[in-house]
Structure 1
Amino acid sequence: MARVHTSSSLLPCLRFASLHRFTSTPLPILNIPQRLYYTPSIYAMARRNLTSKSKTDQVASPADLRFEGPLKIVEYPNPILRAKNKRISTFDDNLKKLAHEMFDIMYKTEGIGLSGPQVGMNVQLMVFNPVGERGEGEEVVLVNPKVVRYSRKIVAYDEGCLSFPGIYADVERPDSIKVDAQDVTGAKFSVSLSGLRARVFQHEFDHLQGILFFDRMSDEVVDSIRMELEKLEKKYEDSTGLPSPEKVIMRRRQTSAVGFGIK
């Protein structure tokens, strides 16, 4: 995610990593003021989504994780952003290097969150630092994340995304969530997130499901940024000589999250 800001303040770009510190120091569980909840029907549906996907999820090979720096941000409507992202099973120095490189480009592009597909890597990896400044705040890496629960409270924020440069609009999301994931060493853990951390995670988690932030917007909000989206579609066509793989005019609103929550 590129940026998230409110009417009163501008927050730097979104980015995620594994909810243990990147230095391997355990990250404490955050206290969430709102009660996490689920109804049997919604929870069962979410679990079915997670289970059905896990049965068919492909595992990333060492070749899928190889890359050459410097990384570059993939912009809409590049089909990489909609491609399936593979689960990671190899936890080695190359994975740590990839996470470091993702942080590097995130800071350079003024972000606070970034996902694998946004740098052309279709794997289940995200990084973030809510402060958005190298040497400040806390760098976090999440590998193979899953949402366990989400809060009743829904909050709207003016979101941006590094893959949609210069575009900002309101997106509604649950204010707090509980997540299961792995760190860069492969260790499993659970963490509760609220506020900005929860929003950053959900934005990047959507990327790992092939969902883009305008998929979550109301028709009225999308209409307010339609011209900007169409400009990115034309930019893609001009630079590649290919027709845009998708058109905002044909979009279908994503009414429920993959594996969690409802809009």
Structure 2
Amino acid sequence: MAARVQGSPALYYCSSFLPVLSRQARPHNWIIRRFFSNLSLSRRRTALALSGQARRGFSFQEDNFASPADLYFEAPLKIVQYPDTRLRAKNKRINTFDENLKKFADEMFDVMYKTDGIGLSAPQVGMNIQLMVFNPAGERGEGEEIVLVNPVVHKASKKTLLYNEGCLSFPGIYADVVRPASVKIDARDVTGARFRVNLSGLPARVFQHEFDHLQGTLFFDRMTEDVLDSIRLDLKALEKKYEDLTGQPSPEKIDNYKQRQEFAGFARI
């Protein structure tokens, strides 16, 4: 078990984001009901304007959209581990909403549940597209399964919270990460329907970790230098493991790492 933040629940994130919440620390049902009630209300009230996204710096050129080849996958899906280059690659937007996309989302949920997770992003399974899945209940048949496609952060709160995070793309590594307490997002569901929703508490934490993956940002990018130093040897061990398995030099080295000053979608906190 990883060290927990005093007075705060411990969150563990899978594969370059499979957020995993320990069963003892999982949220009460009222948190889940309130989140999904807000989501349903937002779906009824809000339609996202494409021009609004464009003003926030998002391009809608054809080459930014996923092709049929980009959307092709084979089951079973496998978790991608650091320092695999797919965790840093550009993730294309989706404009094809069909049975293949639904099947892919279902396969992502299968991987998520098998790893005791509550969220997962497409690059974590080697697919560089803008899609994430999560279920705060963390159990098949409980809560509600949510698929977010092409998500955009509309606003993040100034209030922040500290949690002990982990990631299945970084097996056995856990460390403290500060994130906004709440976010307002725009997205599409698996059918292509647009909606806007406010997230807070656990859903906000899960979303932000997964959204980072869609931007090619890893959880150690958000750690302070002191916290990063505490896991440096573990990261070097993963780099060595990658080199042993592939026979290739690690595509990134923590010894050469320079703290990133800005993150897509968020101001650095």
| 1:49-108 CA-partner distances (Å, limit 9, x unpaired) | 941555686100112111110000000000000000000000000100000100100111
Q: Does 1:94 align with 2:103?
A: no
Question: Which residues in structure 2 correspond to 1:1-263 (within 5 Å)?
Answer: 6-7=5-6, 9-11=9-11, 13=13, 27-29=36-38, 50-51=56-57, 54=60, 58-263=64-269
C-alpha offsets along residues 29-48 of structure 1, whole Å, 9 cap, x if unaligned? Answer: 26xxxxxxxxxxxxxxxx89
Change (3 A) 1:144 1:101: same
Residues 48 and 157 (structure 1 numbering): CA distance in 2 closer, same or farther, change over 3 Å? Answer: farther
Q: TM-score, normalised by structure 2?
A: 0.81
- The 3-state SS of whatever aligns with 2:203 is helix
CA distance 1:226–1:56, change in 2 (3 Å): farther
Q: Is the 8 A contact 1:144 1:181 kept in 2?
A: yes
Q: Cα 1:146–1:261, aligned 2, differ >3 Å: closer, same or farther?
A: same
Instruction: Output the CA distance in 2 between the equivalents of 1:241 and 1:182.
Output: 40
How far the C-alpha of 1:4 sits from its partner, in A, is 11
| Partner SS for 2:150 | strand
**CA–CA distance in structure 2, aligned partners of residues 236 and 94 of structure 1:** 31
Segments ≥4 residues shifted beyond 3 Å: 3-16, 47-50, 52-57
Partners of 2:225 and 2:12 lie apart in 1 by 26
Q: Assess if the C-alpha contact under 8 Å between 2:102 and 2:190 holds in 1.
A: yes
- SS of 1:253's partner is coil
For 1:117, the aligned partner's letter is P
1:212–1:94 distance in 2 versus 1, CA, 3 Å: same
Whether the 8 Å CA contact 2:11–2:164 is kept in 1: the answer is no
Q: Secondary structure at the match of 1:180?
A: strand
The CA distance in 2 between the partners of 1:54 and 1:156, in whole Å, is 35
The answer to whether the 8 Å contact 1:103/1:127 transfers is yes
Q: Which amino acid aligns with 2:148?
A: L
Q: CA separation of 1:242/1:120 partners in 2, compared to 1, >3 Å: closer, same or farther?
A: same
Deviation at 1:202, TM superposition (A): 0.7
In the TM superposition, residue 262 of structure 1 has moved relative to its aligned partner by 2.7
Change (3 A) 1:9 1:29: closer
My pick for the range that moved more, 204-213 or 249-258, is 249-258
* 1:145 alignment partner AA: P
SS in structure 2 at match of 1:157:
strand
Which whole-Å CA distance do the structure 2 matches of 1:87 and 1:174 have between them?
Answer: 25
User: Structure 1 pair 161/54, CA: closer, same or farther in 2 (3 Å)?
Assistant: farther
Aligned pairs, number: 236
| Counterpart residue identity of residue 38, structure 2 | I
Deviations 1:145-203 (A, max 9, x none): 00001111011110111211111101111000100000011000000000111111111
- Percent sequence identity is 63
Unaligned segments of structure 1, at least 5 residues: 17-25, 31-46
Superposition deviation, residue 120 in structure 1? 0.6
**Distance change in 2, residues 1:71/1:174 (3 Å):** same
